[in-house]
Structure 1
């Protein structure tokens, strides 16, 4: 409840449950702080014998704060309510036991109150005040002079500015009543507290916003996603100003929130990441327990769905056709099959396999970016086989057993590879020829024959033969261009050179670009055409005393150049 500024007579604001807060000296009844707590001094109840009891002078506070129940301070004299008047003795003390006559309680100022004039929040008064202006009331402590001012004659306390509980929630002041002329204290100084009463002036805020959270797709209903927490700067110990409840203002079709804890949960069981992978949820925190008139704050939670392996792989087509030349070398790519898997990461890993054993030896398959790459393993021959048909399978190596019902997590496709006939170069009957010829054979001496055919026709009629001149620089041999017969051009001498390696070229007459080469090793065979020769000139001698028939040792060395 906000205070209303007092009238010009500076009367305090009266609580609605209190009929009177000022002093009634005729009845000698002093009531402070309204309906619950206060001090009642009633001289009509004082015993006639003043030797036994006397009423102590009292300094008390009249508060102008309505609807606020002050709290009793520990260790202070007892306050007696009006309802206890008929059952309790008045507050009397014996002569021999004079006690402090200050009776204090903390009282409250409602925060953020703004009025045109300083607001009367209470009044200090002592029974020793005779009302002639000789009593002087003084305040010391926090905010005195700047926030709180006191009328030294009346004891009226005013607050001069609007207070914010969130900046400072209480002020500790010291009150003193003195004789204005002598300065003598009429009562001992005492401390009291002015508390700033909270109002609901702060909306909830989310200090950690914005929020981003992950939850697996296809999660069960009620799966916890994230807990959001709002803060309210109002007083959590007073009323409902800081009692928060949470609600969803956007996204409630897919999510729910616990109104007390702020835990966000899934509300449907079939959120599919492949359909929608991200949701924006708007959460609201409202104070006053969510009741009408409460303040609210909102925040956003971006919920992203993480992937699970709930989709099997598939080939884009069930049948694929490729072609490859018979001249293709091993390692050449034949074609690619494309597969799809809408999952992510390891859930989208694919493995490819050729299911037919024979074709798996001729072709190889490797996976590359969700494609099955078919590679040639062996040389193909159109004339031997002109097509291959086999099956390729794609599988997920990692399968989540929770989603087996969505399987099987594999797929097959049929692949047909056509072998293209190519205009091949001539093909020799041997990869290497070994021929021989006797030395000293007069030209033209036959050495042997090489043979090549056109592999496309199987015929040799369109083959032309020649000798690579770089392999026979001395032009010792000649080849018949039509038949492939090789002859010597001159006599060969084995003792000079035993082996002759020549290269024969076979060229296709109708396409001179188609050429094949083969090495022909020609060995020169030995003939007995060389007499022995001494290795050097020898000189011999005989003694004159030698007898006829006597043998003398003598070694003679000779070389034979034939094999």
Structure 2
């Protein structure tokens, strides 16, 4: 079929391609094709005619939509050709309609385009005319006048146009001719006209052949046999009131409804005057199915379903004849106009629906193409379509009875993911009929929303000493988008924790946001840190957001208290000295401990675990100060052993113990000897004891020799006198400070009895209660030495009675981080000479290296404090008494 310009008579195949300015319904195209073509017959190149790219037909989902019950036509998407898919029978498709069209809609997506296609089905002469009966019998009285008409049964031809019934032919005879007439609908019927009088006596019957021919090429025809029986004369024939009756009947009138009552009269009497009514022979079969005629009353009633949409007017041919012999039938025509009622609701057909639609589709995007129709006529067939006003869509009218559904604003899938749009089609009849159609419009997602965490930040707490791989927390984000755009993956952003990459501390499950520790945390090294977690969707382009996770490491009681002071000496227990004369409440020592934990885990408490005499000392619960409970008595042991328990407040609590030996002292020698004893470790070599014994023996011998020599010198005439004063000394020993001076303070009070001077020339106070270090600002701590007061009876005090003495104090600078102590000595000439340097001191007191009278040694870090009290016998003429201190190492 080739597209051609349309002509008024419809006989020329045409193509109409017109641009349409309404929405996306772009054009209309028309083809014509004869009926009865086989499958695959060419109709037209629709892709070429519409100017479409054949290669894109499949990708754009090219398709045709037809309202017919069968898919008569189809398109080859490879070449764009429209072809016959199933044989078309025009008579079945359109019955007796003068024109027959297949209405198609071509729908193309991406973007949505709509084309209307009309395919006219051309009739071919495939049906011959036919009569309802093959033989007709007519009875005509011999008295019938020439010109009398006798209707004949009409032939039917299913074809239309030129192929339909065109004429009737009557075989040659002497008495009858045909008169061919045309009805209002264009159909033909024939009447038999008496041309010359009949004579029953000459010929009782007349036989003729009636032929119906169409206008097709080649011609087709159908025949019927007519037999006319000549009857004896009947003087009068029935007469109708009217030759033509016209009545109106509403469609869908119920069966039995009276349409019209005919009335015919006959002037004869008896049987010749009794009239019977019936349909004429040429009344169409369709009329006989819808209506009936009462043979006695002449009432025409509804027999079938009268539908205005099938026919708006019916022609009924009714005859009346009497019952007399040679009765002659007379005829009338009844025109029944069918009145339309609003009995058909509108029909809604979704020609195309483009769903889902992207949420960022601009306003005016076509969603669906809708066609509506109403089989009623006039106002009853006028249809109006509406949609609710609370949806972001509008309905636009395009072609007649065609609407497009378009967006009126931007859509948001996160707010509404789909719409059920109720389309209402309502006609203008009274009462109006309506049809509702629900259109489901789904909104497709675009990646327009970044992930969102359910919290602005996260704070989590992790107990230290956690197992590697332990879960820390779970961060959760959500994305309002859908499908791929809502699939989230989690990651930890790059960063550092204590100079190390954050990835060495924690990891995260990319699917669910569970965060895990990669190492065991130590509260004492790392108390808190931050990580940045990112959630990223899988859209294109991907969107992301991040959140801060503050991780606080909780302390666990994993550190026992550590004793800082007092410290044990040389592997032995810690020792302190307590003067016997102290009162109750005297601070003996202070336990200093440290717990590396925090909070309650580092809160320390002290308690006495063991004591030689539990009633003698007490320890403060929270300060660790050891104080005397009462004064010492003679029966108290001079060496008290205390075991102090230091416990933290963790759960479970951890503890440490420290043992302290307290020596109750009266004098310096006693205390010093005690220190000497305590300094010896059980593992010390045995020869050390031998050295001490030899040293003590040597000192005793020196004392004895010195006394003898001094006694002899005392009797010399030039002796300037005797030493008359006892001197007090103070040693300030502070291990934390390098400054510790041995100072000569002052002579003892003059009021001191001479026998006191004889008993003890020197008072040596060894105290740490006043700290020499500026760090502790004079505070008393357990690191300080306990006050040790003792009196040393100088062995040479009587020798120097009466002598004049000069006392000099010299402070030496620090050498290599140590401070040289001040050295004092007394010469026989009656004066004290101060050593000018360490070298001078060491040369003068070289003999002291072998005559140590007492040794005090305590370790504190790297420092070692030594105090030497000795008597030196030199090669000089006069002996000297020397008290010196050596360097702190």
Using structure 1 for the length normalisation, give the TM-score.
Answer: 0.47
| Structure ID, larger Rg | 2
Task: Kindly indicate whether structure 1 or structure 2 has the higher relative contact order, using CA contacts under 8 Å at least 6 residues apart.
Answer: 1
Question: Structure 1 or 2: larger helix share?
Answer: 2
